[in-house]
Amino acid sequence: GIQVEQSPPDLILQEGANSTLRCNFSDSVNNLQWFHQNPWGQLINLFYIPSGTKQNGRLSATTVATERYSLLYISSSQTTDSGVYFCAVVKAAGNKLTFGGGTRVLVKP
């Protein structure tokens, strides 16, 4: 199956700082999503981004499909950004979402 690796595994930020989370995948994909899992366990959709660049407020994401990686940028971080960020992909010609190990983010006030 496809391998999805996220880095770093843990990230501690001071409020107001910027950060970049990375997702590497081992095969071609036709779906890539970024999620934020809040402290109650709910997965919140951030981006559907199998290729290209998107922005939503303080968050933006870029996927370079030919090089098999995606980046999630968090700017001017806030304490409410704390939680676990997951990248998940569907392999080309596949139908299952495979998750990376996640990046656990803690934003300190």
Partner 1 sequence: GAVVSQHPSRVICKSGTSVKIECRSLDFQATTMFWYRQFPKQSLMLMATSNEGSKATYEQGVEKDKFLINHASLTLSTLTVTSAHPEDSSFYICSVPEGGDPTDTQYFGPGTRLTVL
Nearer to partner 1, 7 or 101 (CB): 101
DSSP state of 39: T
Q: How far is the CB of 13 from partner 1 (least distance, A)?
A: 19
Nearer to partner 1, 47 or 77 (CB): 47
Q: Which residue type does 4 have?
A: V
Nearer to partner 1, 26 or 30 (CB): 30
Q: 15-45 burial, b for 16+ CB within 10 Å, e for fewer?
A: eeeebebebebeeebebbbbbbeeeeeeeee
Alpha carbon 3 to its chain centroid, in Å, reads 15
DSSP letters along 72-87, please?
EEE-S--GGG-EEEEE
Q: How far is the CB of 96 from partner 1 (least distance, A)?
A: 6
Binding site for partner 1 (CB under 8 A): 30-31, 33, 35, 40-43, 45, 48, 86, 88, 90, 94-102
Q: How far is the CB of 101 from partner 1 (least distance, A)?
A: 5
Q: How far is the CB of 98 from partner 1 (least distance, A)?
A: 7
